[in-house]
Structure 1
Amino acid sequence: MSTLRKLLAAVAAGAATLALAACSGTPAASPSGTESSAALTTVTVGASPVPHAKILEFVKEKLAPAAGIDLQIVEFDDYVQPNEALASKELDANYFQHLPYLEAQIKERGYAFEHGAGVHIEPYAAFSKKYTSLADLPQGASIAITNDASNQIRGLRVLETAGLLTGITDDSNVLNLTAEQNPKGFKFVENQPEVIVQQLDDPAIDLAFVNGNFILTAGLSTADALAVEKVEDNPYANLLVWRTDNTNPGVAKLEEFLHSPEVADFIKQTWPSGDVLPG
C-alpha cells in the first residue's frame, strides 16, 4: 500500500495548490495546459453495470467533486474486456472482480496489476425454474456453471455444503470430479457468466449458478435462490484494480472513497435484501 500512500499525498498536495491559487485569485492550470477556475483529475474506470457502476455513480455525484475528481465510468457486460482495457491503458482502473479471479487472470495473461481492499461481496447463488429445492434435483441433472475456475469452485462448494457433492478440494473442477465426488452423476454445462443467467429459461437446464452482478441485472434476488454461498469469511469481495505503473493520483482517492462510511451506507440502503454486502 505504499504506492497508495504516495498517490494520496500527491492528491493532497494538488488540493493545496488549488486552494492557494484560489486564494491568490490566480486560475489553476488545467491538465491540457489551458487555464480554468478549477483543475480536475480525470479517472476512467471500467465496471460491471450493477452494482459496481451504480456504486461509482454515487461516488461521482456525492464524493468526487469536492476532491477535484472527474470520474468517468465505462460499463462492461463481461469479465474479459475490463482487464484487457486496463492493460492497454484505455482505463485508469477497473472495478468488477474479486481477488481469486484477478490472481488467476494475472497468472494466465501476465497482467501487471495492483489492487485495493475488498469493497463489497455479492453472494454466489443457484437458481432453478424447474425445482424448488436442491434435494429435488434428479440423478443426472444438468447444471449450468461458469467456465472460469475461480467462480466454478464456488458453485461446487455450495453443492458440497448441500450434501450433493463430496470431497471437493481447491483443485476440483467439473471435469475432474470422480463418481465418488459426484454420486448423483450431475452433468455440468460450462459457459460464460453473462450467458448462464439466460440459460435459466432453457428447459434442458435444471439448475444454474449465477454471479452476483448478473443476479441484479436480471432482476433476480438471492431470496429466491435454491442455495446461496456463505458470506462469513468469504474471500470473494470485489475490489478496485489498477496497473502497477499507474501515476494518476485520482485512483488512490477513488480507493479511499470506496471504503468510506458513505459508500458502505449507500450499499446497505440500496440493497437491503443482502444481494450486495459491504466488505
Structure 2
Amino acid sequence: MGKWNKGKWLFTVSALVLGLAACGQGAAEKEEGATSASGEGTQTVVVGVAPGPYGEMVTDVLGPLMEEKGFTLTTKTFNDYVQPNKALADEQIDANLFQHTAYLEKFSADNGLDLTALGHVPTLGMGIYSKELKSLSELPEGAKVSIANDASNLARTLQLLEANELVTIADEIDETKATVNDIAENPKNFDFKELDAAQLARSIDNVDIALVPGNFSWAADLDPADALALEKLQEQYKNVVAVRTQEKDSELGQAFTEVLTSDAFKEAIAASPFKDFDQPASWNK
C-alpha cells in the first residue's frame, strides 16, 4: 500500500494562511511570549482529541489558521470516547474534535451536558484495502475478506460492501444492526474473517481485502487514496469541533466557526494528507 510523509506538506499549509487577518481574543489562557501575525498576543486553547488523524488535523491545519485569529491550539489526547466530552463540560479543555454529531447529541442528552457543534471537518470513513488487488472487480470467487467483529463496525462494513454491490442485506433487517447472518446474497461466496477492528490493517497480508475503520487505517499509514472504495458518510456521522454551548458565540467560538467555513481551510485540507477524507456536504454547495 502507498504511504506518504505526513510532514512534507506543512510548508504549503503555512503559506495558505498568510493572508488571513488576526482578530479578537478568546476565553482561554494567554500564552506568554506568543504573537499572532498582527503582532498581538495569542491565547492558548486546549482541544481534546482521541487517537487517530484528528489531533494532527488540529495541530497542522486548524492550528495555523486559528493562530492568525489570535489563538494557539494545543491538544490533549484521551484514550476513550467518554472523557473528552466530560472534560469539555467541566472546563478542563476548551473544545474537542473526535466525534460525529450523532454521538455528540446522544452523549450530551444521556449525560446532561450542554455542548454544541460549531462545524464539520473532513472525516475518514471505513475503507476497503488490498495488498494485491487494484480494483474490486478483480475479487475472485471465495475471496477472503477480513471484517470487524464488533457490532457497530460490522454493520458499517456490511453497508459498505452492499453499497459496492458485493453483498445484499436482507430487506427486513435494520442495516445499522446487521451481522453476517443477515446477508441475503453473497454472489462471490466471500469467506469472512471476523477480527478485532484494531487487527484489520495487519490482516491485509493474509486476505484478499480488508475493511478497515478510519482511525485504524490512519494509524497503520494506509493511504485513503489507495483504498478500493471508501465509506460515504451521512452528515451526522462526520466529525465536528464542539464547545460548551455558552461559548458558541464567544470570540473563540466565532473564530472556530469562521475557520471551519473558510476557503483557507478547504485549501489547506486539499494540500494535506486529509485531502481524500469525506468532506462536509456544505463544501459541495
- Give the TM-score, by structure 2 length: 0.64
CA offsets 1:15-46 (integer angstroms, 9 cap, x no match): 49x9xxxxxxxxxxx969x9x99665432102
Distance 1:132 1:122, change over 3 A: same
Amino acid at match of 1:218: A
Amino acid at match of 1:189: E
One of 174, 177, 180 as aligned partner of 1:173: 177
CA distance in 1, matches of 2:70, 2:231: 39
- 1:154 alignment counterpart: 156
Given that 1:153 and 1:170 are in contact with CA atoms closer than 8 Å, whether structure 2 keeps it comes out as no
CA distance in 2, matches of 1:111, 1:190: 34
> Is it true that 1:143 corresponds to 2:135 in the alignment?
no
- 2:203 alignment counterpart: 200
CA distance in 2, matches of 1:167, 1:93: 39
CA distance in 1, matches of 2:64, 2:101: 27
Question: SS of the counterpart of 1:265?
Answer: helix
Which structure is larger by alpha-carbon Rg, 1 or 2? Answer: 1
CA offsets 1:206-236 (integer angstroms, 9 cap, x no match): 54322334433322123322322347x7653
Distance 1:82 1:157, change over 3 A: same
- 1:266 alignment counterpart: 268
CA distance in 1, matches of 2:205, 2:104: 30
**Runs of at least 5 residues in structure 1 that lack an aligned partner in the other structure:** 1-13, 19-29
Greater alpha carbon shift after TM alignment, 125-134 vs 94-103: 125-134
CA distance in 2, matches of 1:176, 1:272: 31
**Runs of at least 5 residues in structure 2 that lack an aligned partner in the other structure:** 1-22
CA RMSD of aligned residues (A): 4.2
- 1:217 alignment counterpart: 219
Given that 2:122 and 2:278 are in contact with CA atoms closer than 8 Å, whether structure 1 keeps it comes out as yes
- 2:238 alignment counterpart: 237
CA offsets 1:99-127 (integer angstroms, 9 cap, x no match): 23434544665554321222213242112
CA distance in 1, matches of 2:263, 2:203: 36
Distance 1:132 1:45, change over 3 A: same
Given that 2:201 and 2:217 are in contact with CA atoms closer than 8 Å, whether structure 1 keeps it comes out as no
> Is it true that 1:191 corresponds to 2:196 in the alignment?
yes
Question: SS of the counterpart of 1:180?
Answer: strand
Amino acid at match of 2:94: D
Amino acid at match of 1:126: I
CA distance in 1, matches of 2:203, 2:244: 36
> Is it true that 1:253 corresponds to 2:258 in the alignment?
no
Q: Give aligned pairs, total.
A: 247
